[in-house]
């Protein structure tokens, strides 16, 4: 019953998002009381309050998947457990600092790899989709994102192993209430890719961590950001074709990650809202405030200690995607715009696959 109320509260925001708006919410903060031993769930619907919480050490990262992993076969979820034990996203304090330090040079390697991608390579990919049967912005976004992540994975793994699109786009562990079968499938996809890599070369600990990070938390927000950019270029190339209309620019204000979670470690008050020790807090990263500049208030990369460390990499990827859209010579008029799939409770925005 309580899970249904939490799902309903999440979906009433996430499920009604469009690509660049959040639904209007009257309450800045909403509470769902726990039943028995279960903690209270709190939904923070103002980004100003969310920022304060993300910057406050009283609110800790939490391993939100633990209860669901307890229902799964450990062998069939090994990579998810490994990821949660090693990725800074799930860690606090010293462990968080150590793993962030480990990841940083590997992420910088990926940024350098992106610097070496000729924009013409991306232009050719966009033109290939534009010339295909029934092109859509979803197909363009997947093609471009798969290519750029493929380059990063090959760089970090030190192998030429190619990655299946099912692995790249079919691994989403950031669901508030995942089914065991879904977690097993995510593990199997990661395992299939890593087994192919390890047959050629054993990645070091930092390399392994980044390979998992690219697959488990890099592709999902990036492909959404690229899809959003493709939609804007489609409008520019077709509707907004008035001479001199400014070209779309790299812009992350969409917030492809709809929410993040924290646990409150001691009773406290934030902007007059009382939080209790043990509260599980869902923080939305965008809001409809009625202000025309509301997008400037969104927190696409989070805030505080856990601010996204992949930000420079995703910015470089988006720059390449824009170069591809700008340089494409194909016909945009046949392209179908893909909108956000309604009703999903994943932390990541998903676009409709119309192709």
In this structure, is the dihedral angle defined by the CA atoms of residues 255, 342, 292 and 228, taken in order, positive or negative?
A: positive
In this structure, is the dihedral angle defined by the CA atoms of residues 286, 19, 179 and 161, taken in order, positive or negative?
A: negative
- Contact pattern for ligand HEM over residues 84 through 123, marking x by CB under 6 A: ---xxx----------x--x--------------------
Reduce the secondary structure of 21-86 to three states and give it as a string. CCCECCCCEEEECCCCCCCCEEEECCHHHHHHHHCCCCEECCCCCHHHHCCCCHHHHHHHHHHHHH
Query: Starting at the edge strand that comes first in sequence, how are the strands of the sheet with 59-60 ordered?
Result: 29-32, 41-44, 280-284, 259-264, 59-60
In the bound state with ligand HEM, the residue whose beta carbon lies nearer, of 130 and 229, is 229
In the bound state with ligand HEM, the residue whose beta carbon lies nearer, of 260 and 355, is 260
Cβ atoms of residues 221 and 309 within 8 Å = no
Instruction: Give DSSP secondary structure letters for 272-325.
Output: TEEE-TT-EEEEES--B-S-TTGGGG--TT--GGG--TTHHHHHHHHHHHHHHH
Which residue's entry shows tokens 């856990």? 306
In the bound state with ligand HEM, the residue whose beta carbon lies nearer, of 146 and 313, is 313
CB of residue 81 to ligand HEM, shortest distance in Å: 17
By CB under 6 A, is residue 218 in contact with ligand HEM? yes
CB of residue 134 to ligand HEM, shortest distance in Å: 26
Contact set for ligand HEM, span 284-313 (CB under 6 A): 285, 300-302, 306, 308-310, 313
Instruction: Identify the residue among 137, 222, 227, 346 touching ligand HEM (CB under 6 A).
Output: 222
Contact set for ligand HEM, span 157-216 (CB under 6 A): 213-214
By CB under 6 A, is residue 256 in contact with ligand HEM? yes
CB of residue 195 to ligand HEM, shortest distance in Å: 21
Instruction: Identify the residue among 145, 227, 231, 314 touching ligand HEM (CB under 6 A).
Output: 314
Site for ligand HEM, rule CB under 6 A: 87-89, 100, 103, 213-214, 217-218, 221-222, 225, 256-257, 260, 285, 300-302, 306, 308-310, 313-314
């Amino acid at each position: 019953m309580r899970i249904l109320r939490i799902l309903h509260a999440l979906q009433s925001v996430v499920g009604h998002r469009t690509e660049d708006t959040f639904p209007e919410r009257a309450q800045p903060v909403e509470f769902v009381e726990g039943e028995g031993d279960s903690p209270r769930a709190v939904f923070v619907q103002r980004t100003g309050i969310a920022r304060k919480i993300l910057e406050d050490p009283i609110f800790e990262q939490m391993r939100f998947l633990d209860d669901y992993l307890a229902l799964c076969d450990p062998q069939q979820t090994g990579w998810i457990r490994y990821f949660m034990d090693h990725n800074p996203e799930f860690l606090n304090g010293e462990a968080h600092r150590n793993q962030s330090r480990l990841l940083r040079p590997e992420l910088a390697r990926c940024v350098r790899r992106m610097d070496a991608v000729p924009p013409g390579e991306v232009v050719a990919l966009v033109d290939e989709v534009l010339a295909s049967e029934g092109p859509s912005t979803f197909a363009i976004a997947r093609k471009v994102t798969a290519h750029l992540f493929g380059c990063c994975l090959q760089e970090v793994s030190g192998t030429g192993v190619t990655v299946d699109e099912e692995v790249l786009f079919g691994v989403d562990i950031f669901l508030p209430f995942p089914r065991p079968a879904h977690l097993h499938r995510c593990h199997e996809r990661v395992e299939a890719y890593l087994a192919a890599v390890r047959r050629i070369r054993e990645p070091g600990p930092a390399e392994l961590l980044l390979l998992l990070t690219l697959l488990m938390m890099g592709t999902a927000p990036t492909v959404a950001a690229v899809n959003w950019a493709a939609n804007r270029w489609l409008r520019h190339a077709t509707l907004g074709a008035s001479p001199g209309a400014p070209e779309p620019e790299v812009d992350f204000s969409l917030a492809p990650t709809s929410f993040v979670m924290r646990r409150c470690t001691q009773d406290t008050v934030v902007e007059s809202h009382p939080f209790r020790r043990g509260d599980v807090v869902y923080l939305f990263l965008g809001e409809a405030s009625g202000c025309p500049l509301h997008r400037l208030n969104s927190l696409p990369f989070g805030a505080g200690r856990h601010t996204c460390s992949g930000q420079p990499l995703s910015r470089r990827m988006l720059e390449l995607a824009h170069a591809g859209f700008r340089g494409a010579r194909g016909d945009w008029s046949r392209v179908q715009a893909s909108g956000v799939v309604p009703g999903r409770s994943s932390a990541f925005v998903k676009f409709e696959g119309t192709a």
